[in-house]
Amino acid sequence: MNRSFQPSPNVTHVTPSMTSGMAARARALRATGRTVVDLSQGQPEFDTPAFIREAAQRAIDEGATRYTATDGILPLREAMAQQANRRHQGLDEVGADEVVVTSGAKQALFNACFVLFGPGDEVLVPTPNWTSYYEIVELARAVPVPVLGDPAQQWKVDPDALRAASTPRTRGILLNSPCNPTGAVYSPGEIAAIAALARERGWWLLSDEVYRRIAYEAPASSVLDCTSDRERVVVIDAVSKSFAMTGWRLGWAVGPREVVKAMAAMQSHTTSNAAAVSQHAALAALQGGAAADGAVAEMVEALRQRRDAALQELLRHGPVEHVRPDGAFYLYVRVGSTGGVDPGAFAYDLLEREGVAVVPGAAFRTPEWIRISYGGAEADVRQGVRTIADTLHAARTAG
């Protein structure tokens, strides 16, 4: 241990992501020869569609190996603006100068929070929600304010809950629909009501839409579908989840020109442009027309089958409290409260004793729950969720 290292105040509160931690422990157990079913990973287990991989290979051969403009190549920003314009309800057109290309949605979220929020600012985070929101807001030295949703409404929050949690220091909201970890999808009316509240109060609305294309019951809405006023709206998107491109690290933000400019300036001193080849791959995905739509539809259909398989296995011994997911690829399950189950230890014991990795709900500020990812192969999903159902049943029968 290096005793002379004292982390600076920038990072004293930062802990490694619990989702990455569970996946790392699963890998470590596998390395010892154990069989592990990993349902902790936040990625769909598909190959990136062939037409995207081929476009990337062509781009490398044609010289996409150098720096690009910090905010991304123009045709890509134009394609992203065009996608936003297909949805935007307002009269003003989204321009390419209102888009910044980033190394994944995570960087877009970080840069947006960093330029919008600072010391003393409070940011409302509908909870449970993706683990990194809380840490990203803290890295900006602002204060994340978890706002618990209603478990009877798929844990979604409504304007009343947000109003009740707000103070004069509230500066923004982080909305995530479809939601990680619950799979809940906000309806257009629900998004419009939250957008109206944000507008009325002058709050920034950051809408993380990385799972928007992965919805099972009805198409999931963008905030751009639901409001005509985007003066204080920043949309975060990525090709990561919908095109099975998590490793390419390619995301973007659409927002007011000044915000996007500040984000690009920040990026020019930190990471510079997103990888050139990934930008060309994303361009192929966004301009892919029928091939792209077909590839996404095929993956969503496979995920729907895995969702249904997961639900069937979960309920094999009878009712278990859970959120029925309408989007993304997560199943949120309550393990605490009844029988002899220690919710804090459940996920860790499950991995060490049964060889099934999930993410403890503490990562999402709801410790009695666990998040199961059903992005993996259907046989693994079935086996893993069956083990979870059996373990819960055994504990409750014994307790």
Ligand X SMILES: Cc1ncc(COP(=O)(O)O)c(C=O)c1O
Q: What is the contact surface with ligand X in residues (CB under 6 A)?
A: 42, 104-106, 130, 176, 180, 208, 210, 238, 240, 246, 251
Enter the tokens of residue 155. 């844990």
Which residue sits closest to ligand X, CB atoms considered?
Answer: 104
Cβ proximity to ligand X: between 23 and 238 the closer is 238
Q: Looking at beta carbons only, is 210 or 341 nearer to ligand X?
A: 210
SS3 content of the chain, % helix, strand, coil (to 5): 45, 15, 40
Nearest distance, CB of residue 251 and ligand X, angstroms: 4
Listed residue (351, 358, 352, 349) closest to 314, CA to CA: 358
Nearer to ligand X, 37 or 136 (CB): 136
Say whether 113 sits in a helix, a strand or coil.
helix
Q: In whole angstroms, what is the distance from residue 312 CA to residue 37 CA?
A: 18
For ligand X, the closer CB: 212 or 334? 212
CB 125 to ligand X: min, Å: 11
| 173 versus 389: smaller Cβ distance to ligand X | 173
Supply the minimum distance, in Å, between the C-beta of residue 176 and ligand X. 5
Q: Which is nearer to ligand X, 70 or 391 (CB)?
A: 70
Residue 99, φ and ψ in degrees, nearest 5: -130, 135
Least gap, CB of 19 to ligand X (angstroms): 7
Report d(CA 217, CA 200) in Å as an integer. Answer: 31
Kindly state the smallest distance separating residue 80's Cβ from ligand X, in Å. 14
Residue 52 CB, shortest distance to ligand X, in Å, is 15
d(Cα 373, Cα 367) in Å, to the nearest integer? 17
Please, are residues 127 and 148 in contact by the beta-carbon 8 Å criterion?
yes
Residue 168 CB coordination number (10 Å) = 5
Quote the distance between the C-alpha of residue 21 and its chain's center.
17
